[in-house]
Amino acid sequence: TINRRTQKIMTQQSTQDDNHQTEENRNRSNEHPVVSHSSFSIIRQIAGINWKGQCRYVKNDANSNKNSFSPNSAFILNGGMRLDVNETGIQITSFIEFPNGKVREVVMYGEKEKNAQQEQQHQGSIDLYPVGTSSNGPIYMRITELSPDTILFHELERSTDKVVLTGSISVAQAIGRGSDHDKEIGSPEELVQVSHELGDTNDDCVIKGHQVWRYKNI
C-alpha cells in the first residue's frame, strides 16, 4: 500500500513531468512554423479580387561575382492575378505584360479530391495544373499556406518535377480608415510576392533571377 508521503511525492513528480512536457511542447511549436491545411483560409481572404501591380525583375549579375545580383539593372513589368476558390478546387489566373507589348495569361486549377493523398504527403499543399489555352504549358504549381498571412509556392517542370521557381505571397491588411482610405480594417489591401528563378544545379549560380511583385486590391 502506498503511504501518504509516497503518494505526495509521486503527485509532485507527476505535476513536474506534466509542466516539463508542456514547456517542451511549447518550445517545439515555436521551432516550427504553423502550416494551414485543407481549408485554405488565407487564399479565401484574397479570392474573388482582381489584383493588379508591378514587378521589379532583377537578373543575376553575370559580369560580377557569381553569387551577386545587380538591383541597378532592375526593370519593371506590369501584371495581375486573381484567385478563385469553390468547394471542389482552386483556380489562379495570372497575366504579365512584357516590354514588347505582348501579354501572357496563364490559368491553373487544382481539385481538392485529386490532391487528397498528395495533401497528406506534402502537409496541406495542393497542385495546380494549366487549363484552357494554357493546358499544354510545361509548368505546374504547388502551393501551401503559412499562417497567419503567407502563401508559399513552387513552380515545377511537368516532365521532371524539378523546381524552377520558388516564392511566397504575403497579405498586407488595411490598418486604418480615413477620407482616402475606405477599406475595412483587417481587409486584404496589398499582396507582396517575392520569387526566385532557379537554374541547373550544375551552373555556377543556382539563382538566376528575382521577381518582387506588389499587387493592389483595386
Mean pLDDT by 10 residues, the chain (218 residues): 48 51 45 50 94 90 59 81 92 93 94 62 80 91 93 96 95 65 70 91 73 91
In this structure, what DSSP letter does residue 69 have?
Answer: B
Q: Which has the closest alpha carbon to 77: 54, 104, 48, 100?
A: 54
Cβ neighbors of 177 (< 8 A, separation 6 or more) are: 183, 184, 185
Question: Is omega for the bond preceding 71 within 30 degrees of 0, making it cis?
Answer: no
Please choose, from the candidates 81, 49, 92, the residue with its C-alpha nearest in 3D space to the C-alpha of residue 218.
Answer: 49
Contacts of 162 (CB under 8 A, 6+ apart): 156
* Per-residue pLDDT, 106: 95
The pLDDT of residue 199 is 79
Q: What is the pLDDT of residue 15?
A: 52
Q: Residue 9 has what pLDDT?
A: 42
What pLDDT, on a 0 to 100 scale, did the predictor assign at position 122?
54
Q: Quote the pLDDT of residue 178.
A: 47
What pTM does this model have?
Answer: 0.71
